[in-house]
Amino acid sequence: MKKPVTDQIHVHIPYRMLIRRLDEVLRAGLNPEIFLDGDALDGTSPDELKQVSGAFHKRGRTITIHGPYMDLSPGGADEKVRRATVERYRQTFEAASYLKPGAIVLHGGWDERRFDGDVELWLNQSLKTWPEFIKEAERLGTKIAVENIFDERPGPLKSLIESLLSPNFRICLDAGHLNIFSEVSMDEWFREIGAFVAEVHLHDNNGERDYHLPVGAGRVDFEKFFALLREYAREPIYTIEPHGEHAMWRALEAVARFL
């Protein structure tokens, strides 16, 4: 029997919220994208992570992880900041060894303004950070999915992926962020990096702020987004990032219609 379409969708849930409401999430049959910020990484334990992992996997659910990002910079010009990022990523991968995720989303950190347009600086620093974690992803049988945030065009992310070409190092394409920050068309993003997309983040906005609305509640052209996704990407992970429980159910229903 074919599984319901919603079985294909992951739901972004902060780790501490997941722990507080674990029974509810399990009863709802959700596949979590577990957000592990610094506090969660410092406050959890291997036993707790094993318990969470076992609870989902024995029910046939799948897990993905969204790693920490606040204040971090994997391509940071300040070497101390970059090394601090590496330490947080090491914690993330240690947690992943217990949670057994299908993918780990991490931010690429490129920002035209912060780096004053110097892609080479960001890229060279990034190349110091990622190889260690690509090897870990290969060992764990998972993928790193580098997410676009403030990226105005796909070129820097494409250069990063092609410089470290590995089936375990791919892209998480965030539709909401494209709608706010991109200065080129959606078509160009997919032409350039569509073949590298392993996961998509699906939320909507009005083109001005990152509201994380359910699909269809803003101005993102999701008909076009899903058409391009079908053309270029191969079996990506679909993830919604709702702000609030009511928005979650609306978002699940909206995305299911496209699948």
* pLDDT tens for each residue of 36-55: 999 999 999 999 999 999 99
**Is 1 inside any structural domain?**
no
Evaluate if residue 228 carries a pLDDT over 90: yes
Evaluate if residue 5 carries a pLDDT over 60: no
Instruction: Quote the CA–CA distance of 186 and 122 in Å, as a whole number.
Output: 24
CATH (domain of 233)? 3.20.20.150
Residue 167 banded pLDDT, cuts 50, 70, 90:
very high
| 255 contact partners, CB below 8 Å, separation of at least 6 | 9, 202, 215, 238, 240
Q: Which of 74-83, 120-129, 242-251 has the lowest mean pLDDT?
A: 242-251
**Is 244 inside any structural domain?**
yes
DSSP-assigned beta bridge partners for residue 105: 66, 145
State what percent of residues in the chain have pLDDT above 90.
Answer: 94
Greatest Cα-to-Cα distance within the chain, rounded to the nearest angstrom: 53
**Residue pLDDT, tens place only, 97-113:** 999 999 999 999 999 99
**Is 224 inside any structural domain?**
yes
Please state, rounded to an integer, the average pLDDT across all residues of the chain: 96
Q: How many domains does the chain have?
A: 1
Mean pLDDT of 151-171: 98
Look at residue 48 and give its three-state secondary structure.
helix
pTM for the complete prediction?
Answer: 0.96
Evaluate if residue 165 carries a pLDDT over 60: yes
Which among 237, 218, 229 is positioned nearest to 142, based on CA atoms? 237
C-alpha pair distances (Å), 145 with each of 48, 138, 197: 25, 13, 8
Phi, psi for residue 58 in degrees, rounded to 5 = -70, -15
DSSP assigned state of 217: S
Residue 216: domain span: 6-258
Q: What is the pLDDT of residue 244?
A: 83
Q: What is the pLDDT of residue 2?
A: 46
C-alpha pair distances (Å), 132 with each of 79, 127, 141, 234: 16, 10, 14, 26
Q: What is the pLDDT of residue 178?
A: 98
Evaluate if residue 6 carries a pLDDT over 80: no
Residue 70 banded pLDDT, cuts 50, 70, 90:
very high
Look at residue 216 and give its three-state secondary structure.
coil
**Is 195 inside any structural domain?**
yes
How large is the C-alpha radius of gyration of the chain? 17
Evaluate if residue 1 carries a pLDDT over 90: no
Mean pLDDT of 189-193: 98
Phi, psi for residue 244 in degrees, rounded to 5 = 115, 150
Type of residue numbered 111: D
**Is 97 inside any structural domain?**
yes
List, as one string, the DSSP characters of 134-171.
HHHHHHHT-EEEEEPSS-SSSHHHHHHHHHT--TTEEE
